[in-house]
């Protein structure tokens, strides 16, 4: 493996961001989320990915659930890949995590941020480099209001289709950009399109990142065919489960409209948010 040693050295300086919210002293710190790159990585060794599968896998949490309403696809993902620093559901934390993939700005992110601030919920925003370059004020607001900034790569390539060095540069070039421009050390990575291989997960881990998939998602990304707000609100509330990781898209008009009601509805079922 080329360049891994240098990448590991950079990974060791990761600390965290998204903990500046002055209106929310009760918000957990990045360390409390369990995602912080910590001293254990000082002992990390580069992975010999030649021994791992490079076969592309397309992730989906599915709709089948267990007795706790947890999607079995997410639980199975954890079983298969947690040793590679990846998770799709939190099994050691009953709280729910809202995540937003930021492919491009469609005018709804500010409203989403307003709602999150009003409801005192911290979310994870997975950024592409193009999004960060074009929307610095929104990115700064995310950070200043205590949200977690996640890495969604530079170009949105399918990670398992790349050679090892390109896979690493997709992660670390984005990391360097956000660190240089916003002073933020990201710790979470979501592979574009949910596509991965054992090798790409291992390379992500060697870059000092944890891969975060999801345990719930729905068809919210098509801006020309937005889902019905009432039906969507019911779907999102009914999907609540311990340790849930919701994947939402900020380009969705429906999501912007129903987010506050969804948060209220999930809380009414006895759940709280990270």
**Where along the chain do its domains lie?**
4-10+52-268
HEC readout, 9-61: HHHCCCCCCCCCCCCCCCCCCCHHHCCCCCHHHHHCCCCCHHHCCCCCEECCC
pLDDT of amino acid 11? 43
User: How would residue 33 be classed by pLDDT, with cut points 50, 70 and 90?
Assistant: very low
Percentage above 70 pLDDT, the chain? 84
Mind listing the pLDDT tens digit for each residue in 81-103?
A: 999 999 999 999 999 999 999 99
Mean pLDDT along residues 22-43: 37
Class of domain 4-10+52-268: alpha beta
Question: Tens of pLDDT along 146-198?
Answer: 999 999 999 999 999 999 999 999 999 999 999 999 999 999 999 999 999 99
Q: What is the mean pLDDT of residues 1-13?
A: 44
Q: Looking at residue 17, what is its pLDDT?
A: 63
Query: What's the pLDDT at 47?
Result: 85
pLDDT at residue number 18? 57
Mean pLDDT of 99-126: 98
Q: Active-site positions?
A: 101, 249
Query: What is the per-residue pLDDT for 274?
Result: 87
């Amino acid at each position: 493996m080329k360049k891994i040693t240098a990448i590991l050295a950079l990974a060791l300086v990761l600390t965290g961001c998204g903990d500046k919210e002055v209106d929310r002293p009760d918000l957990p710190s990045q360390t409390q989320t369990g995602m912080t790159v910590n001293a254990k990585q000082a002992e990390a060794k580069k992975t010999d990915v030649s021994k791992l599968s490079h076969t592309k896998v397309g992730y989906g949490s599915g709709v089948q659930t267990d007795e706790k309403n947890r999607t079995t696809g997410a639980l199975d993902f954890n079983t298969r890949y947690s040793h590679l620093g990846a998770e799709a559901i939190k099994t050691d934390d009953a709280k729910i995590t809202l995540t937003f993939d930021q492919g491009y700005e469609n005018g709804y992110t500010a409203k989403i941020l307003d709602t999150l601030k009003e409801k005192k919920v911290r979310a994870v925003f997975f950024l592409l480099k193009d999004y960060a370059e074009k929307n610095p004020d929104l990115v700064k607001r995310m950070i200043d209001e205590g949200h977690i900034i996640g890495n969604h790569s530079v170009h949105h390539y399918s990670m398992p289709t790349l050679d090892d060095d390109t896979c690493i540069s997709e992660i670390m070039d984005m990391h360097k950009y956000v660190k240089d421009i916003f002073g933020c050390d990201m710790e979470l990575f979501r592979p574009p399109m949910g596509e991965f291989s054992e090798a790409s997960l291992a390379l992500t881990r060697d870059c000092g990142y944890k891969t975060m998939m999801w345990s719930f998602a729905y068809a919210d990304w098509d801006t020309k065919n937005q889902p019905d707000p009432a039906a969507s609100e019911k779907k999102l509330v009914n999907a609540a489960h311990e340790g849930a990781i919701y994947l939402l898209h900020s380009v969705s008009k429906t999501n912007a409209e129903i987010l506050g009601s969804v948060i209220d509805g999930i809380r009414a079922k006895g759940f709280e948010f990270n």
